[in-house]
Structure 1
Amino acid sequence: MELVIATHEGLASGLVSAHDMLAGKNDQIMTIELTDTGIRDFRARFAKLMERYQNDQVLILTDLKNGTPHLVAEEYEEAHPASVRVVSGVNLPMVLELSHKLISANLDESAKKALDIGRREIDVDKMQLA
């Protein structure tokens, strides 16, 4: 399985940079970011990136549900339902945990795990309730 992180500018590359510092480089993680070159350019770059994975299973993590990276990824998932899953709300714990099991990972289980990690890692320390 391959992991693609599709976000607005700066986030995907930042997540992978932090991942690499903490866990080491993983060649199965690819990034693509929406920049000021626009949506049309992003769609073209996304299509080119996904050509690499035509015969692979791909988990795509996006930053913002219904943002452009998510919508473009979702369109790709609809065209390739057997081999692609899209999960929104990417965060560093999600990337770190998923990256260790990419080679033998099951696509649906990985998508479910991404959701579980995202939910589990959101917390408030010492919250004072009024």
Structure 2
Amino acid sequence: MKRIVLDTNVLTAGLRSRNGASFAILRLVAARQLRPLVTTALFLEYEAVLARPEQMAVHGMAAVELDRLLAGFAALAEPVEPHFLWRPQLADPKDEMVLEAAVNGRADALVTHNRRDFSVAVGRFNVLVATPAQLLEGFRT
């Protein structure tokens, strides 16, 4: 089973639309074919972003439903304790926690819609950075 770190933008895209690679990734997580890795900070980011009013309006879940979904996601996730912090490495400080989860958890892939934001991770930390579609393509082959 591949162990992956999901950037928050993959979760938001997957909940906004049932079409597309982001939703397919979430389905593979639910089917236990992919294992998400999360730090406490990253999970709190997921929770905060998905509960924003503009996100709630688009994904259409009530707060109780979102809480259930996040609890289910947490039950499937592998917790990662960030023993090493390498800040600053990236242009966007909010992306640091995603990279730290991937490096500390020895993820097979960091999945994001913004590959360019994590380009330093490829060379410096030998982390595979893939879009949801790229991960699915590799998963199917």
- TM-score (normalizing by structure 2): 0.38
Q: Which has the higher helix share?
A: 2
Q: Which has the higher strand share?
A: 1
- TM-score (normalizing by structure 1): 0.41
